[in-house]
Amino acid sequence: MDLGRESFEQLMGFHAAPMLVGLRPASLLSFRKDKFADFDALLEDYRPCFSCKGIEIFPVAQGEVYVLLLFYRAELLKQQFQDEAVQKVLRQYGYPCEEGLTACLHYLQLRMRLKKSFPHEIGLFLGYPVADVVGFITHKGQDFCYSGYWKVYANEEETRALFDCYAHCTEEFCAKLEAGCSFPELVRAV
């Protein structure tokens, strides 16, 4: 069964609505390319829509069947990377922060290939709080106080409210998509 544009838009809405409307700097999505008639062409068809709304697409990892794509808002991610605490963590893993966002993305891609798994600092690219990324690394994914979009190690009350906001955003985005709103109209420029 080949999935088409509608399925692609539904997947994007369900997994990336907070990024699509500008609440998060990035979303990471895995696609099984062979489920689409021509995934690369489909992605290229959407590139102008994403680009005009300030969203870039970066292949973090890819194989013959799967591709792991980072959809990101460059301006929001650059703001995230200006935080000294974010830079400190990234530098611990060898990221060339002084060379800019593109260099860091390529280094993430390299780390994915070398580690053959998710480097845990990837949460910083997705807009997770530094305390939660460091907590996850330090506690090896255990001893968290709450779990939702990520495992929470600090500021539980604030983060629960943020998770609620993300969930509401996703529900609203998907409902509008199902009601016939066009995907490009739902994606916001920030």
For the segment 150-168, what is each residue's pLDDT rounded down to a tens digit?
Answer: 999 999 999 999 999 999 9
Q: Is the pLDDT assigned to residue 143 strictly greater than 90?
A: yes
Please tell me the total count of domains within the chain: 1
Task: Please state at what angle helix 74-81 crosses helix 101-115, rounded to 10 degrees.
Answer: 80
| 13 in any annotated domain | yes
| 186 in any annotated domain | no
Q: Give the mean model confidence (pLDDT) for residues 158-184.
A: 96
Separation between Cα atoms, residue 44 and residue 152, nearest integer Å: 36
The range of the structural domain enclosing residue 95 comes to 5-179
Separation between Cα atoms, residue 135 and residue 121, nearest integer Å: 11
| 156 in any annotated domain | yes
> What is the share, in percent, of the chain residues with pLDDT greater than 90?
88
| 185 in any annotated domain | no
Pair 77, 25: CB distance under 8 Å:
yes
| 161 in any annotated domain | yes
Angle at 10 between CA 171 and CA 15, to 5 degrees: 65
Task: Report pTM.
Answer: 0.94
Separation between Cα atoms, residue 85 and residue 144, nearest integer Å: 20
| 184 in any annotated domain | no
| 59 in any annotated domain | yes
